[in-house]
Amino acid sequence: MDLTRTDEQAILADTAAAFVSRECPLARVRTIEASGDWHDPTLWTAMADLGWCGLALPTEYGGAGQGLLDVAVLAEQLGRGPVPSPLLESTTLAALPIAWMGSPAQRRRFLPALASGRAIGTCAVFEPGMSDAWSDVARRGAPRLDGHKLLVPWANIADVLLVATATGLWVVDRDNRSWACERHDAFAGTPLFAVTLDDAQAEPLGPFGPADDVAGPETTRRVLDATAVVQLAYAVGAAEACLDLAVRHASEREQFGRPIGAFQAVAHRCVDMRTDIDACRYLAYRAAWAFDCEPHDTTLAVAAALTYAADALRRIFVHAHQVHGASGFSTEQDLHLFTRRLTELEIRFATSPRHQEQLARAMGMTTDTA
């Protein structure tokens, strides 16, 4: 395993970094967040024109034919923005599942539009009563779907909706759109919605549909694992921005006639942030590489990345705010744009007990298979 960036990945990272700096300064991030749906169509079009929507999709459907590791490289640079966009969710929650498991007809129908950015996709997983997204889904699949889903990202602008059921993933598209959205009061950069399905016409994802109740949940969990890995890469970029802000403040803020960064109590916090960020980046990239090169053996890599990130991300934003002192508590401080996103990743993706259980089992610390 070699996680050194290829020449193509280095160009991708440099291009994305320049794009974020030029097209999405923090003032624009705040403007987008203040808008009704947190979506900027002009920014979305610019990203689609760069081919990012189809980065990991097959070339025969208009994609670039790259892997999840390339998406992670892109996600890290977007996190440095932090760029508010449905790009990552549309890729990992809709486009990739269709590319992985869709029938030839479903791929021809959905992937070209998703790859070009003409369509946006998402996935509805969480239901009332579930403790986290990796828990078993109770609702069974059917050609007509009813019921409620929670915490669905970008549902207000989605053209393709994948719905997780006990028998696998089902597809509802805009032409048969029978769902209503109600905005959750989210605090980070991803707009989340409660979705009500009302006799929505759906079709099972796959050439033959979900085979049985055992395969269904595992299919959904694989999609969630890939999404969590890419979101962790995005959080690594946001964490890097937190460190940059902390170092800048420590260099400029003076106390007792010296920059506060000269004091060990401050300098050590910045060093600890650097250590945690590098570890999270390695684990995120290692897990993304596993999806590309060891697709049938991703459990340990994903569990290790998310288990470590659950504590490391909290340490990073705590250190960043403490370096800033009182000013770090003000919501007008730019630091909040990034630490809110770190908190979102921690809560939505990194704290599921499943990750710790999978890691403990892989390390031989338990034989429990429940």
Give tens-digit pLDDT for 275-307: 999 999 999 999 999 999 998 889 899 999 999
Tokens matching residue 245: 């802000």
Looking at residue 18, its pLDDT comes to 98
Using CA atoms, how far residue 192 sits from 22, 152, 188, in Å, is 27, 5, 10
Q: Please tell me what DSSP assigns to residue 126.
A: B
Tokens 């889903």 correspond to 149
Predicted confidence (pLDDT) per residue in 12-29, tens digit = 999 999 999 999 999 999
Where is pLDDT greater, at 201 or 370? 201
Is pLDDT at 178 greater than 50 in this prediction?
yes
At 140, the amino acid letter reads: R
150 contacts 85 by C-beta, under 8 angstroms? no
Just give the CATH number of 7-116: 1.10.540.10
- Of 273, 268, 356, 270, which Cα lies nearest the Cα of 310? 356
Q: Which range, of 23-32, 55-64, 139-148, 250-259, averages the lowest pLDDT?
A: 250-259
For 197, list phi and psi in degrees, rounded to 5.
Answer: -90, 130
Where is pLDDT greater, at 166 or 37? 166
Is pLDDT at 367 greater than 70 in this prediction?
no
Residue 264's contacts (CB-CB under 8 Å, 6 or more residues apart) are none
Tokens matching residue 179: 């769902």
Where is pLDDT greater, at 48 or 330? 48
CATH architecture assigned to 215-362:
Up-down Bundle (1.20)
Tokens 């966009």 correspond to 85
CATH architecture assigned to 121-204:
Beta Barrel (2.40)
Q: Domain coordinates of the chain in residue numbers?
A: 7-116, 121-204, 215-362
pLDDT band at 213 (very low <50, low <70, confident <90, very high): very low
